Structure 1
Amino acid sequence: MGGFVPYAVISVVHVGALAIGAHAIAGPTKLLLMPALALAVLWTARPLAAGRTLVLLLAAIGLSWLGDGAATFFPFLPELPVMLACFGLAHLAYIWLFARELPTRSLPRWTAVYLVWWVVLLAVLWPHLGALTVAVALYGIVLAGTAATAARTDAVITWGAVFFLTSDTLLAFRIFTPDALPEWAGAPVMLTYTLGQGLIAAGVVRARRRRVS
């Protein structure tokens, strides 16, 4: 998994820049995260034949990149709806990947906690969502779906999805209730995000290797 080292380094630099308020570094490094992760996947999976598993993984990473850079790539559109749309599509790719390509067991009963998470999150944020209520509710469904279907795979992917869910939960509070989190909250948002995406990618490549061998 040495191919993931550049991604890990960029992640550390990005999160560290956010923690100290170095936005001149945090901005560019954010846009490097998903390309570095895609390169890590391509490098570590290079002995494997191209297949639907890797295509779905790279599609999810690419859509996440568009979500990360929504303001940069789509300056003529409102940032938040575009970001939700890009990440929503990324999560649909992940759901397909976990539920159809990589499942090793049935859906565990404990994943019902994600339904509880969705209800509680909506109940807390509802007064602050305004015109985005439906979009956030739908996004929450696909995010919970990613976390739940990841639990049908292995522990690495499952934990990756948990970190991803944690990141988006923190981000939701940061966007809609900014007074509820401290100014430095961007660092834990991106720390859990980079951990989540990295673990998912590494877990998928490892699972693919196991199936091929």
Structure 2
Amino acid sequence: MHEQRTATLPTWTWGFAPYVVLSVVHVVALGLGADSLAGPTKLLLMPALAIAVLWAGRGTAWGSPFSLLFVAIALSWLGDGAATFFPFAPELPVMLGCFGLAHLAYIWLFARVLPTRSLPAWTVVYALWWGILLAVLWPRLGALTVAVAIYGVVLAGTAATAASTNRIITIGAAFFLASDTLLAFRLFTPEAMPPVTSPLVMLTYTVGQGLIAAGVVIAVRLRERTTAR
């Protein structure tokens, strides 16, 4: 008789459990309007993700993939807490700046460090996304028009270059893009967005960041196994 095998998750994935729990608590708190819980949990998300990567990366060589991932996570954390960390500055420009730099780190990671294939032709959809989003929001952007346009370029760049890596990173970057798209409409067309938009922004954001981080770990581990053969 053949031995029956059951699929099990790699042990390194358990390091993501605290991040998943925090993400769920944060999204639910937003949905319930529990600001006293939503605020602190938001600031704990990226540190929990960084700890997850530290755990998942045990036993691997700590090279540029993890370094760039940690840079992106740290900049995302600053963007999440822009109002807390930079109370002396306008929140939205600071947030855009921090996340813009995070996306540049992701683009370098996906395009220069982890690519496994050429950029698929279908990624042209992200250029179309940028054009449509800018056209729809243009009348509402005012002094932020240039900043939002540039930020849109790096957002599209992250999503597109992610498609040259593995499927997990590609899906994660698409969720990240969805989060920022929802956020843009919530910020600039608040009257058209339902209350559920805020939890959806953070749900897609946490899923996106988590999948990107897990995808990078998978890519590094696969590369090391391939090299060792």
TM-score, length of structure 2 as denominator length: 0.92
Give 1:194's aligned amino acid: T
Hey, what does 1:96 align to over in structure 2? 108
d(CA) in 2 for partners of 1:13, 1:195: 13
Q: 1:126 aligns with which of 133, 138, 146?
A: 138
1:151 aligns with 2:163: yes
- Residue-pair matches, total: 213
The one-letter code sitting in structure 2 at the alignment partner of 1:68 is D
Moved more, 44-53 or 110-119: 44-53
2-structure distance, mates of 1:107, 1:50: 26
Distance in 2 (CA, whole Å) between partners of 1:189 and 1:95 is: 21
Q: Does residue 168 in structure 1 map to residue 180 in structure 2?
A: yes
What letter corresponds to residue 178 of structure 2 in structure 1? T
| Correspondence 1:60-139 to 2 at 5 A | 60-139=72-151
The Cα offsets for residues 83-131 of structure 1, whole Å up to 9 and x where unpaired, read as: 0000000000000000011101100000000000000000000000000
Of 57, 76, 80, which residue of structure 2 is paired with 1:45?
Answer: 57
Unaligned runs of 5+ in 2: 1-12
The 5-angstrom pairing of residues 13-28 of structure 1 reads 13-28=25-40
Partners of 1:124 and 1:47 in 2: how far apart?
48
Distance 1:179 1:127 in 2: 15
Identity of aligned pairs, percent?
73
C-alpha offsets along residues 45-87 of structure 1, whole Å, 9 cap, x if unaligned? 0211211110000000000000000000000000000000000
Q: Report the alpha carbon displacement of residue 201 of structure 1 after superposing the two structures with TM.
A: 0.1
Aligned to 2:214: 202
TM-score by length of 1: 0.99
Gaps of 5+ in 1: none
CA distance in 2, matches of 1:182, 1:22: 17
Q: Supply the distance in 2 between the matched residues of 1:40 and 1:149 (Cα, whole angstroms).
A: 24
2:192 is equivalent to residue 184 of structure 1: no
> In structure 2, how many angstroms separate the alpha carbons of the residues matched to 1:160 and 1:53?
16
Matched residue type, 2:83: A
Task: Report the Cα offset of residue 35 of structure 1.
Answer: 0.2
C-alpha root-mean-square deviation of aligned residues, in Å?
Answer: 0.5
Match status 1:141 vs 2:148: no
State the distance in 2 between where 1:115 and 1:182 align: 27
1:127-150 Cα shifts (integer Å, max 9, x gaps): 000000000000000000000000
Hey, what's the Cα distance between the residues in 1 that align with 2:197 and 2:159? 22
**What do the CA deviations read for 1:166-211 (whole angstroms, capped 9, x no partner)?**
0000000000110111123110000000000000000001100111
